[in-house]
Amino acid sequence: MPWTMDDYPASLKNLDKPVKKKAIEIANALVDEGYDESRAIPIATSQAKEWHENASKREVKDFMKNDDPTKRDSDASHSNPDLIDNAEEVVPHEEGWAVQAKGSKRPSQVFDNKQDAVKRAKEIAKNKGTETIIHKKDGSVEKRA
């Protein structure tokens, strides 16, 4: 059962509402990908705090107004826990640069600039014990780290 703004882990209780909502969204996605709940919560909390620090006021406002943290991908039942062991990629995205597990259908985060995306991808890859694959704007591989 997915977490909601009314039913979430106690560790999220004292977070600001936008951070809490983003953490719930990220944690639900991580659990869908096969992460254990005890591992998903601290990862989601950290990513949500970082998102909030880097998000514009408009982004936060739009997120609070529109996004539903319990919304699932239509193919969530087919999620692949093997993505946990996949490399983290930095790929071009319509809104900048995306960080995502190799083979995933959607990014975990999108950044305005490539440098921030690479930094975050390296952090995630280090935590997962995988490599980072950095792509060029044309989609070809620039570097593996």
Q: Single out the residue in 53, 71, 89 at which a domain terminates.
A: 71
Residue 77 pLDDT: 36
Residue 78 pLDDT: 37
Please check whether residues 66 and 84 belong to one and the same domain: no
In total, how many domains does the chain have?
A: 2
Please check whether residues 64 and 36 belong to one and the same domain: yes
Rounded to an integer, the average pLDDT of 85-89 is 87
Please check whether residues 19 and 59 belong to one and the same domain: yes
Q: How far does the chain reach from its first CA to its final CA, in angstroms?
A: 36
Please check whether residues 12 and 42 belong to one and the same domain: yes
Please check whether residues 18 and 63 belong to one and the same domain: yes
Residue 56 pLDDT: 85
Residue 85 pLDDT: 76
Model pLDDT for residues 93-135, shown as the tens digit of each residue: 988 999 998 888 778 889 999 999 999 999 888 878 889 999 9
72 close to 43: Cβ distance less than 8 angstroms: no
The pairs formed by 6-13 with CB atoms below 8 angstroms and a separation of 24 or more are: 9/37, 9/41, 11/41, 11/42, 11/45, 12/41, 12/45
Please check whether residues 60 and 12 belong to one and the same domain: yes
Model pLDDT for residues 34-52, shown as the tens digit of each residue: 788 888 899 999 999 998 9
**Taking the model in full, what pTM does it have?**
0.50
Please check whether residues 24 and 56 belong to one and the same domain: yes
State both tokens at 69: 């943290």
pLDDT-based confidence at residue 62 (cuts at 50, 70, 90):
confident
Please check whether residues 84 and 142 belong to one and the same domain: yes
Please check whether residues 62 and 84 belong to one and the same domain: no
Q: Single out the residue in 45, 71, 97 at which a domain terminates.
A: 71
Q: Single out the residue in 12, 42, 71 at which a domain terminates.
A: 71
Residue 125 pLDDT: 85
Residue 143 pLDDT: 92
CA distances from 67 to 60, 103, 144 (A): 10, 24, 33
Q: Which residue range forms the structural domain that includes residue 17?
A: 1-71
